[in-house]
Every structure is written in structure tokens, then in C-alpha cells.
Amino acid sequence: ACGGGEESSGDNGGDGQTYNWKFVTEEVEGQVQYEYAQEFAKRMNEKSDGAVNIDVYEFGGLGSETNQVEQLQSGTVEMAVMSPGFTGNMVKEGQIFALQFLFPESVEKTQNILNDSEALNTDLRELYEEHSISPLSFWSEGAMQWTASKEISEPADFENFKMRTQTSPLILKSYEAYGADPTPMSWSELYTALDRGTVEGQENPIFFIGDASFNEVQDYMTMSNHNNYVAMTTVNTDWYAGLDEEMKTMVDETVTEMQDWVFEEQKKQNEEYLETIKNDTENPTEIVELSDEQREAFKEKAEPVRDFYRSEVSTVDGKVLDKLIEEINAAE
Amino acid sequence: MIATMLIIMVVLLFLNFPMMIPLMAAPLVIMFIYFPTLDPMILMQQFSTGIEPYVLLAVPLFIFAADIMTTGKTSNRLLDFIGSFIGHIRGGYAVTTAAACTLFGAISGSTQATVVAIGKPMRERLLKIGYKDPSAIALIINSSDVALLVPPSIGMIIYGLVSGTSVGDLFIAGIIPGIIVFISFAVYSIIYAKMADIPLAGKASWSERWTMTRKAVLPLGFPIVVIGGIYTGLFSPTEAAGVSVLYAFILEVFIYRSVHIKELPKIARSTGLVTSAVFVLVAGGQAFTWVISFARIPQMITETVLGTDPSAIYVLLMVTLFFFIGCMFVDPIVVILILTPIFYPAAMSAGIDPVHLGVVITFQAALGSATPPFGVDIFTASAVFNKPYLEVIKGTPPYILILFAISGLLIFFDELSLFLL
Amino acid sequence: MKVFKAVDKIILKIEEFILSYAVIIIALMVVGKALSRALFSYSPPFADEVSQIAIVVATFMGISYAARKGRHISMSAFYDLAPFKVRKFLSILIPFGTAAVLFVLAYYSSLYVQDVYESGRVTSALEMPAYYLYIFIPIGFLLGGIQFLRNMWINITNRDEVYLGTDVKDYNDEDTNDLEGTHL
Ligand code: NA
Ligand code: NA
């Protein structure tokens, strides 16, 4: 068997039909996305009495994140976990998750909004479906934190601070708003660059910071929760539309029940890595907590960036954002 | 499917097709035969993905810098300076080459960049004093491998992320194996120089040495700027490659005036030619990797081979074997990314230290970039020195044997990796 | 025939120009970014992207130039041992097969470019249409294929010699190794 080429889906072949799907992720074994896909595959297999077999692909073999998006669009793979950041150059609205201090500080509250939001699950989904991508759910892999070579607790600390960021104009704007010098830097050079001070800080969820050992070369970690690393469970739109009703229901149900599962999973991983980072006495990292006033100070600087999103990024004049803000306000 | 792929590769290679053809055609044929429902277009994205990683930019930049310096005076002055101190010592130039490759490899983190930047000027000197080309090139290619073992090693950073192992610990653990490789190559070089009876230069007087040193002052600023710049965090290793172009440019065009600014496009074109010849292969290798990964071939093979409850030594031997085979066809960094997660769980349940596993894996990947048939260092050397493939690999067997012996040591004595921790 | 030669010369000049300036642009971008960050604490966000575009352009537009100069890497171990007649035969067969494969690749990669075009994807920093970047892939394959056909043709028309590229004869038939001359 070569793992492919078998009939996958489309027309309903009645009893005894087997389904072989491919599910690609942007992370490797042990990390949240990959574990999610594995658990999803396991549940689908059990529910279908072994009729559904899902091969989970970790990051690496199938190319870059952008490549994986294209593979989902072309139906080369049926399912994918993707973060909207990597599709932000196609579905512009998806950059919404890069906005800082938009969602509540609590990841749990954020996850509830992600679960229920019509702006995301209906409006944003429609925009994705124009590109053959159907996001079935949105979930947090954890809140993003800042690590730095010095203490960051108020916007002034970002003054003349070389912050490693992605290259998208929205993210650059977000850090310029604090007075930082956003510095694009390739991932593979980041560890060395932080070690030598070529750049002074970076942002990621805690599990990733710990996994990539960035705490070894950084002295401070600010629990900023400035936004969330949001991932989407996506399927190829045409493929999904072609599933028989029974199978579609099974997929939808599993997607829904996985929301709680992945919340617990990311919570566990982020808590465990936080302990690891705290307990690493060889490479001590001071954990900086923000007071309400300090958070408010950052939020004040971050809010005007929403206008940049509305005018320069959004293709629908920020309608998705405005609706989402209403939903967030209602939830808080 | 594996057989089909191998047959296409081997037949086309031996017929002397340009290597990009088997690398690009084999995945395409596999798509047609085994995945007829898929759009072969998907392979095309992989071509550009393969050459997009930012760190690869160091390769054309170091080629460019080396081209400028060898066209002008910089590299000769540096080599005369070195020669005045070690020219009269048996194997002196070869040991210097090994040392320079080790050092530069450690700094640039790229084996290919090392082959070019150190190899280009050093090879000419080695030939001049009587070394045969295959042995000179083999020395350069293999000494450059150390780039992957000594910090800041990209191989280790990738392994660190995939496995969750401390990158700092990996960096420290790579030091002793790196030194062992260098010492082994140095000893071999001295023995070789004796056996091949490489003629010695007369011992330079101290006044001659002083003259050479004075002439080399500005060129010597080159390593200082590059090394100093990286260690002080002024620029990243890839940017250092760009800075070396700038340094060479200022020195040759404005100070020595040995290169006219109008010659620059011509030098750059030569750099572009070499870059293209190497990078089409990297692009093809990525498409090749995609098909193998998509068909889950690595998982299928390793599941059969590892069985249940393998011993630690057995797992490490299999790691060595699979990385060796993998690196025969694909870039070592890609192999680390794909094979590490497959072997890691088995290695952990067999009680292997993750840092030790990382060192063994990185070592194999380093070895892989210099082993035929697919070795990016071999391609780079073939393109840069404009030498037929066979000529490039002819001298490598003794080095591969040495590296295999060291790899055996690493497997059986994990202290070699863990001692400094 | 004259027109043909003129066209050839123009294409050669364009290839040379692209290769040269792609490399120079990479150097400018990488150095410029480092200097700008060190001196002004400002990192031009487009620098990495421009370098990456330049490297894709150099790689694929270099295919035909390297073919012309006989500089593609191949595993010549067995070929080098073969007698003249075998090499002569292979020198016609190989460029033909290579050209055929490159044309197939040009076809599929142009489909890919069309796909990217339709997706409306833009690059992340410059936000320019992403297909601008990928369009050099089919062009490179196409020009490469044409050049390999010419390599085949020159081996058909010149009975007495083997050519590795239209500009380069087989080193196996040379008395001295003057290959170095082609580099630089
Ligand atoms: Na730390
Ligand atoms: Na190899």
C-alpha cells in the first residue's frame, strides 16, 4: 500500500465504504496542533467503527505553511489545522487575530467567544470559502507572551526595542504603536539572534517558547496575553460539501466536542512549560505580571491599530471586526 | 513505489542526465502513476519553497565575496600570510584548511558557504603546492561538515524544536565531537602529506613574516569583522555573508583598486551561474521530499525496522543508517525535520538521552551533506570549482571512513556528547 | 539565420543581466538590512522578501544559462569512461530528454502560476501579487528547454565533436583542461 490513491469520498458507496483522509498540521509531534489532529483522527476512527482512517501529517515533509494552505485548496489533503496568519495574504480579514488587546485577557473567555462568534464562524468563514477553505472551528493554542532581554511592563519599555516580528504591515504597525522597532528575522536564526542581542525580544505562546528553548536566551517573560495564537480546523470546501450527511454530521460533532479537548490540551501544555521555564535555574527567566493599569496602558496604544485594520487590511471595511467587537463586549 | 523512484533516479543519473532531471522527474512520474487523482501542479510550489529559506542566502553571498576576493588581492595576501608561518610544516596547509573550515563553518553555520568561502582560495593554494585536486576538494568538503556540529548550528536548532530539547545543551554537546573531527582530519592530513610527499616551502624569516603580516592587515580585518559582528549580535550569520561581500568590495574596489567596479556584474554573473546550478538541485530535492513524505514512506519503513521494544544501541544504529540513506537523496536539514519525529519516541523509550540523540543525528546529517550521490556540498564544490562530479568525490572515501569511525564512537560512548553538560 | 543569431544574442544578454543583478540585489538587501538596523534601528520589512524573490529568479532564469555553458551538475562517472561514439549518442539523447522534461515542468508550473493568480494571494511584506514571483519558474523551464534543444542540435550538426553546451566542448576530448576559462 502506498498510503494514497484509494477511493476517498465523494459518492456514497453504501455499507463497507472506507474513507482515507489526510490531515495536515503546522506543528510537530507533541505540540498542540499535531496532538489535536491525532485525537481527532482517533475519535473519527472509533465513531465510524474503523471506516474512517485519517493520516496526520506533521509540519516539515509537505513544505511551508503557505504550501499546506494550497494543498488544502487543491484537495491534495482533505483537512488542515492552519493559523489565519498564514492565509492573511489571501483572506485579509483573517489578520484580525493579530490585533492586540482585542480579546479578553482570559483564554477561557476568549475560547468561548471563538466558539460562539457569528462574526468568525459565519462571516469570516464565508470569506474563506471563496477560496475553497472551510473553517469548521476556531481555537486558541494559548495566549501570546513577550519574552525579552529586559523587563517589559509598560509601553515606554518598548522604546528603541528590537522586537522580532512577522513581516505583515499590520503586525509591524502593532509594535510601532508601542514605540518598538519591529525587526523581521527568519525563524531559524531567531535563537542565535536572541542569544547575541541582534534582536531583543519575540512573541509566542508559552508552550512554543519552552519547546524552542527561547527562555534559555531571554531573561524576562511578560505575561501580556496581548492576543491568542488562534488556529482553525479547516476542510476543503468542495470535499466537505460532497460528504454524505451521516459523515458530515460525524465530522461536525467531532469538531464541536474537540473544542473542550483542545482547550484543556493547550492549558496543560502551557502550564507545564511555564513550570519548566520557572524551574530552569541554569537559565533563569523572570516572569513579569502586568497590573490592570499596565494592561490598560498597552491597550490604549493598541486600539488605534484597529483603524489601520479597518482601512488598510480589511476588504469589507472592518465589518467582521466591528461585529466581533460587539460580541466581545457582550461577553465581557 | 520506492523501487520505481530508485530505478528512474539511477538510470537517469548513470546516463549522465543533469542531476536536476531525475530529482524533478521522479516525483512527477510517481504522481502520475500512484496518485493519478492529484494535481501534479502541487509539486511546482515545492520548487520555490525549497530555495526560499532565508539562511540559504548565505550561499550566493559567500560565493560572491569569495569571487571578488580571488579576483582581487585579498585572498592571496591572506594565504601568503598564513603560508609564511606554516608553509614549512609537513601538512601545514592542509591542517590550516581544516582549521579554517572548522572555524568558518562554526561561524557561518552553513556547510555550503564554508565550501565556497574557505574552499575557493585554499584549494588554489593547495594545488599550487602540489596537492592533487580530488584530495584537496575532499579535505575542503569534509572539513566543512563540522559547520553543522559547532554552534550556532542550524541542524541543532531544528532538532531542538522538533524534539523539544534544549538548544543550549545541544550546542555544548556538539563541541567535543566537533573537536574530535577536526583532530582526526588534521592527523590524517599530516600522514597524507608525508605519504604523498608534498613538497615543503622554505621556512620564512621573521622579517618576511612581518612583511606578509603588514600586507595582510586589512584582509585580516575580514574574519574579525565577520566573527566579531556575529558574536556581538551586530548581525546574524546570514547577514555576515552580506557584510563579507561589502568588506571585499570596499577592499578590492576602493583600497587596492584591483577590481574595477564595472567588473562587478561579471563577477556577480559567475556567482549567479554557480548558485543556479546548485539551487535547482535543492529545489528538486524539495519536490522529491514532498512525494516521499506524502506517501508516508519514512513511517512505513521505520515501523518495520524498529519493531517493538528495540535496545538503545539498535535504535542509534538504525538512526545512523536511516539518516545516512536519507541524506543520500535529500538535504540534511530536511532529513532532520522529517526523520527526527519518527525515531524520537522509540529512542526515548529505549532510554537514550535526547541531547545524545541530537548529537548523533546532527553528526549523521553533517556526514550526509558530503556523501554521494546527493550531497549539497558535493554539488557546491562541483559547481564552484567547475569539476566533474567524479573528480569531486574521488578523494572522499578516507574522510567518510574516519567520520564513520567517529560516528561509531558517538553511538557507544554517550559521554562524548554529555561530558561537558 | 541572422535574425536567429540576433535573438539568441538578446536572450543571452537578458539572461546575463538578470543573473548579475539578482545576485547584486541580494547583497544590497542583506547588507542594507543589517546596516540600517545597526545604524538607524530600522529594519526595512521588504528586504527579506526582495532577496527571496531574487534567489528564485536567479535559480530558474539560470537554468538556460548554465545549460549554454555546460555547467549543470551531473553524475558523469560512467559517461566519462565511455568511448567517443557512445558519448556522441548520449550528447544527442540527453539534451533531448532533458528538454522534454523541462517542457513538461514548464507546462505544470504555468498551471501553478495561473492557480496562484486566481487565488489573489499577495506577498506578505510588499503585498504585491504572489504570481509575479512564481512566473519566473515556467519561464526558466521554458528557456532551459529551448537551450537544451540547441545543445542537441549542435551535437547533431557537428559530427566530429561532443558539446556539453552550445558554448562548451566536452572536457573529455580536450588536451588541456581549459575549463577554468568558463568560470569568470
Ligand atoms: Na532565561
Ligand atoms: Na549525501
Contact A162 C41 (CB under 8 A): yes
Angle at B386 between CA B382 and CA B389, to 5 degrees: 40
Instruction: Report how many domains make up chain C.
Output: 1
Measured from the Cβ of residue A249, the count of other Cβ atoms closer than 10 Å reads: 11
Mean pLDDT to the nearest integer, C130-151: 95
Helix (H), strand (E) at residue A283: none
Contact A167 C48 (CB under 8 A): yes
From residue A309, alpha-carbon distances to A99, A168, A171, A199, A230 in Å are: 8, 12, 10, 26, 18
pLDDT at residue A239 tops 80: yes
Contact C121 A89 (CB under 8 A): yes
Report the candidate in A120, A114, A24 with the shortest Cα–Cα distance to residue A331. Answer: A114
Q: Say if residues C19 and C65 touch (Cβ distance below 8 Å).
A: yes
**Chain B CB contacts of A75 below 8 Å:** 39
Dihedrals φ, ψ of C82, to 5°?
Answer: -75, 150
Rounded to the nearest angstrom, the minimum Cα separation between B158 and chain A is 7
Q: Which residues pair with A235 in a beta bridge?
A: A79, A134
Cα nearest neighbour of A184 on chain C? C45
ipTM score assigned to the predicted complex: 0.89
Q: Say if residues B335 and B365 touch (Cβ distance below 8 Å).
A: yes
Q: Which residues of A223-244 are buried (b: 16+ CB within 10 A; e: fewer)?
A: ebbbbbbbbbbbbbbebbeebe
- Residue C62 inside a domain? The answer is yes
Cα nearest neighbour of A2 on chain B? B295
Contact A62 B236 (CB under 8 A): no
Question: Whole-model pTM?
Answer: 0.89
Which residues lie below 8 Å from residue B185, measured CB to CB, with a gap of 6+? B98, B139, B142, B143, B399, B402
Q: Identify which of A55-69, A180-194, B386-400, C23-37 has the greatest average pLDDT.
A: C23-37
What pLDDT, on the 0 to 100 scale, is given for residue A204? Answer: 96
Which residues lie below 8 Å from residue C92, measured CB to CB, with a gap of 6+? C152, C155, C156
What pLDDT, on the 0 to 100 scale, is given for residue A22? Answer: 97
Q: Which residues of B303-312 are buried (b: 16+ CB within 10 A; e: fewer)?
A: eeebeeebeb
Chain A neighbors (3+ CB pairs < 8 Å): B, C
**Cell 529568479 maps to which residue?**
C57
Class of residue B248 by CB neighbours under 10 A (exposed 0-12, middle 13-18, buried 19+) = buried
pLDDT at residue A176 tops 80: yes
Cell triple for A22: 489526510
The shortest CB-CB distance from B48 to any of C56, C65, C171 is to: C56
Mapped onto helix, strand or coil, the DSSP state of residue B372 is coil
CA A185/CA A180 separation, integer angstroms: 15
**Cell 540534511 maps to which residue?**
B332
- Residue C178 inside a domain? The answer is no
Tens-place pLDDT, residues A8-31: 444 444 567 899 999 999 998 889
Cell triple for A107: 483564554
Which amino acid makes up residue C161?
E
What's the mean per-residue pLDDT of chain C? 88
What pLDDT, on the 0 to 100 scale, is given for residue C112? Answer: 95
**Chain B CB contacts of C179 below 8 Å:** 386
Which residues lie below 8 Å from residue A6, measured CB to CB, with a gap of 6+? A18, A20
User: What stretches of B250-388 show up as alpha helix (H) in DSSP?
Assistant: 264-294, 297-306, 312-329, 332-349, 354-368, 376-384
Tens-place pLDDT, residues B264-309: 999 999 999 989 998 998 899 889 889 989 998 888 888 888 877 7
Rounded to the nearest angstrom, the minimum Cα separation between C165 and chain A is 33
- Residue C180 inside a domain? The answer is no
| Residue with the larger pLDDT of the pair B373 and A115 | A115
**Chain A CB contacts of C130 below 8 Å:** 89
- Residue C103 inside a domain? The answer is yes
Estimate to the nearest angstrom the gap between the alpha carbon of A189 and the chain centroid: 22
CA A204/CA A191 separation, integer angstroms: 13
What parts of chain B have a pLDDT lower than 70? Answer: none
**What's the CA-to-centroid distance between B153 and ligand 1, angstroms?**
20
What pLDDT, on the 0 to 100 scale, is given for residue A233? Answer: 98
Contact A73 C42 (CB under 8 A): no
- Residue C65 inside a domain? The answer is yes
DSSP letter (8 states) at residue A100: T
Site from C55, C132, C152 to mutate, B interface, most B CB atoms within 10 angstroms: C55
Q: Which ligand is nearest to the CA of B376?
A: 2
Residue C156 structural domain? 2-173
Rounded to the nearest angstrom, the minimum Cα separation between A36 and chain B is 16
**Chain C CB contacts of B64 below 8 Å:** 23, 27
Estimate to the nearest angstrom the gap between the alpha carbon of A140 and the chain centroid: 6
Q: Identify which of A306-310, B253-257, C118-122 has the greatest average pLDDT.
A: A306-310
What's the mean per-residue pLDDT of chain A? 93
Cell triple for B352: 537514550
CA C20/CA C17 separation, integer angstroms: 5
- Residue C184 inside a domain? The answer is no
Q: Which residues pair with C82 in a beta bridge?
A: none
What pLDDT, on the 0 to 100 scale, is given for residue A15? Answer: 61
Contact A89 C130 (CB under 8 A): yes
The shortest CB-CB distance from A62 to any of B54, B235, B290 is to: B290
**Chain A CB contacts of B1 below 8 Å:** 2
Lowest mean pLDDT of A41-50, A278-287, B289-298, B304-313, name the range.
B304-313
Mean pLDDT to the nearest integer, A53-75: 92
The shortest CB-CB distance from A89 to any of C41, C42, C124 is to: C124
Mapped onto helix, strand or coil, the DSSP state of residue A165 is strand
Contact A76 B38 (CB under 8 A): yes
Mean pLDDT to the nearest integer, A282-310: 96
- Residue C30 inside a domain? The answer is yes
Mean pLDDT to the nearest integer, C48-57: 94
Angle, helices B264-294 vs B376-384, to 10°: value is 160
Contact B37 A5 (CB under 8 A): yes
Mean pLDDT to the nearest integer, A77-97: 94
**What's the CA-to-centroid distance between B323 and ligand 2, angstroms?**
9
What pLDDT, on the 0 to 100 scale, is given for residue A8? Answer: 46
Q: Identify which of B51-55, C42-46, C80-84, C164-168 has the greatest average pLDDT.
A: C42-46
Angle, helices A245-279 vs A107-116, to 10°: value is 170
What pLDDT, on the 0 to 100 scale, is given for residue A12? Answer: 44
